[in-house]
Homo-oligomer: A and B are copies of this chain.
Amino acid sequence: MSDPGFACCTPLTGSAMSSEQAEELAALLKALADPVRLRMVSLIASSEAGEACVCDLNEAFDLTQATISHHLKVLHSAGILDREKRGVWVYYAVRPAALSAVANVFSSPALAGASA
């Protein structure tokens, strides 16, 4: 198609990121790409015990309890939050590995190209 006989620009190294890896990372980012969920993770992570129960989050946001629960489920399903039921209350805690995985991807020289 069009076959100009020469490359229009420098060739890409090709390795880059596999489709599979991109889908995985995209799922993780999609779970984080929401202001409410971002603040949820931030709140939980910055809490003293590193965890928070749903009742606190319910008061921290101007949203319905159903919506809060929905967002927590999204974050839990993505592997970003751990869920633990203690007595009547349910506590959520951030899984540091998930967040550091994101940090690693975007601080890698292949993507950031800063240190190169």
Chain A residues close to B by CB (< 8 Å): 8-13, 15-17, 19, 22-23, 25-26, 29-30, 32-36, 38-39, 41-53, 55-56, 60, 89, 91, 94, 96, 99-100, 102-107, 110-114, 116
Contact = CB atoms under 8 A, between A and B. Distances in A.
A46 B108 CA distance: 11
A43 B30 CA distance: 20
Most buried by B among A39, A43, A111: A111
A103 B55 CA distance: 30
B26 A34 contact: yes
A30 B41 CA distance: 16
A22 B9 contact: no
Contact of A55 (B8, B25, B45, B113): B8
Contacts of A8: 53, 55-56, 89
Contact of A100 (B12, B39, B104, B107): B107
B102 A106 contact: yes
B107 A9 contact: no
